[in-house]
Amino acid sequence: MYSQMKKKILLFEPEELLRNTLLEQISLNKDFEVTGISSFEDVQNQLNKSTFDLIIMGTDRKAYSLSSIEQFIKEAQIMSVVLFMIEAETSGTSSFEQSTEKHYFIEKPFRIQHLNKKISTTLAKISNSNEVTYKIGPFTFFPLKKVIILNDKTRTDLTDKEVDILKCLISSGEEAVDRDKLLKQVWNYSSDVTTHTLETHIYRLRQKLETDPSIPRLIISKGGSFTIRSI
């Protein structure tokens, strides 16, 4: 069965005790996968290795002031959505516009329930503006972007027809999809399309998805029908 991925959250908080407390509390939500870090270098390293739905950035009155964090975000060209945990006295002093599509704010001190609500609200706003993604084995499939990403790292572009084939197979769940249905939904039974065309596209998809295309484990064909597995 296909399910949407866990939301990946990168938690930057320089104060160790607070960071560990927040990490423990936020991780209680089983829909979240949270990584806790304590330096700008760690932020950059994590972003080089993976992608995150939300970055939570904690400020302090020392090295990690709001202005220094904003400068780091600009210099590092971080494009992810950021939720700033700011000191109350710095509220309204951000060089970023308050509560834009990319930057959100919550004042310290706060109750953990308030933070959790802010996280959920922010992620909901992101989800409303972003596409749904799907897991296919070690890949994440982005239909609108027309890409698959292997282990959050390696990106492979897809053609329009490859995207349509994957969407058709995924929408059928564990039910096999026969060639006629694929030809109808993907090519609308165009007169110049044959089953050979379909087989060619399936072959190319396997080249992109399968560890060994000759022994497919993700796109399975049996008796003229196809299924896709999320293993």
Domains, the chain, with CATH or none: 7-129 (3.40.50.2300), 134-228 (1.10.10.10)
Helices marked H in 95-150: 112-129
Tell me, what's the pLDDT at 99?
Answer: 47
pLDDT surpasses 90 at 35: yes
Residue with tokens 């002031």: 65
Rounded to 5 degrees, what angle do the CA atoms 53, 59, 62 make? 150
pLDDT surpasses 60 at 130: no
Average pLDDT of 133-147?
84
pTM over 0.85? The answer is no
How many CB atoms lie under 10 A from the CB of residue 3?
8
Contact 52, 46 (CB under 8 A): yes
Tell me, what's the pLDDT at 118?
Answer: 93
